[in-house]
């Protein structure tokens, strides 16, 4: 009888361990599946939503159109300043961080912000296989510095722009984890198109 009780105890213990392992495996499977649909499957270009845009709400010194698939959120950095916001893409677990600075009649301040914007991008040159910086002209006549980073980096695309007198705006796309650009190429191209649309529809407010 004692042997039988020990046998049942061991059997129950073994079953408990098996159930624990199964639960853990299911949890990992759920995490993997969630990641697959968020980045793995979407990174292959599957199920990318149609691109449509909406105007930024009033009250900002800048206006542009941004993706209807992005959530406008307040910036949470401890360095946050007025009119800083984040555009979060839940489908891709990616965020565009927008930082604004008023530089009215202060050329030295404007120069500092431009230098800092470029320096922030080039901080990633340790992991980036290459970094390309170019200047583009928007349909509304604005100039913008566009920075593309390649390789295993968390931020593949950034830009900054200014009217040269009053306003400065920087945008940086970040994914939660650094990844080879090739793995997320369709998603990067998708959000990059959204960011270019932001630039092309950008207007400064007095």
Alpha-carbon span 169 to 11, nearest angstrom:
65
Alpha-carbon span 53 to 49, nearest angstrom:
12
Contacts of 44 (CB under 8 A, 6+ apart): 186
Q: Report the CATH number of the 53-204 domain.
A: 3.40.1000
Q: For 191, list phi and psi in degrees, rounded to 5.
A: -75, -35
Which one, of 94, 97, 117, 127, lies nearest residue 168 by Cα?
Answer: 117
> What is the pLDDT at residue 177?
75
Domain assignments of the chain as residue spans, ordered by start? 1-47, 53-204
This prediction's pTM: 0.77
pLDDT in tens, 125-183: 888 999 999 999 999 888 999 999 999 899 999 999 999 999 999 999 999 877 667 77
95 or 140: whose pLDDT is higher? 95
């Amino acid at each position: 009888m004692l042997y039988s009780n020990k046998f049942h105890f061991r059997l129950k213990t073994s079953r408990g361990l098996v159930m624990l392992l199964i639960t853990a495996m299911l949890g990992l499977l759920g995490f993997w599946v969630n990641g697959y649909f968020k980045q793995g499957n979407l990174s292959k270009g599957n199920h990318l939503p149609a691109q449509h845009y909406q105007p930024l709400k009033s009250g900002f010194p800048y206006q542009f159109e941004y993706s209807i698939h992005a959530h406008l959120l307040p910036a949470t950095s401890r360095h946050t300043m007025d009119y800083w916001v984040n555009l979060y893409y839940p489908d891709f677990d990616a965020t565009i961080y927008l930082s604004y600075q008023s530089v009215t009649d202060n050329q030295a301040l404007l120069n500092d912000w431009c230098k800092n914007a470029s320096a922030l991008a080039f901080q990633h040159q340790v992991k980036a296989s290459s970094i390309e910086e170019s200047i583009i002209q928007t349909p509304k006549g604005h100039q913008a510095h566009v920075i593309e980073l390649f390789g295993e980096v968390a931020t593949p695309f950034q830009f900054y722009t200014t009217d040269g007198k009053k306003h400065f705006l920087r945008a940086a796309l970040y994914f939660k984890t650094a990844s080879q650009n090739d793995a997320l190429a369709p998603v990067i191209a998708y959000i990059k198109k959204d960011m270019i649309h932001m630039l092309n529809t950008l207007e400064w407010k007095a």
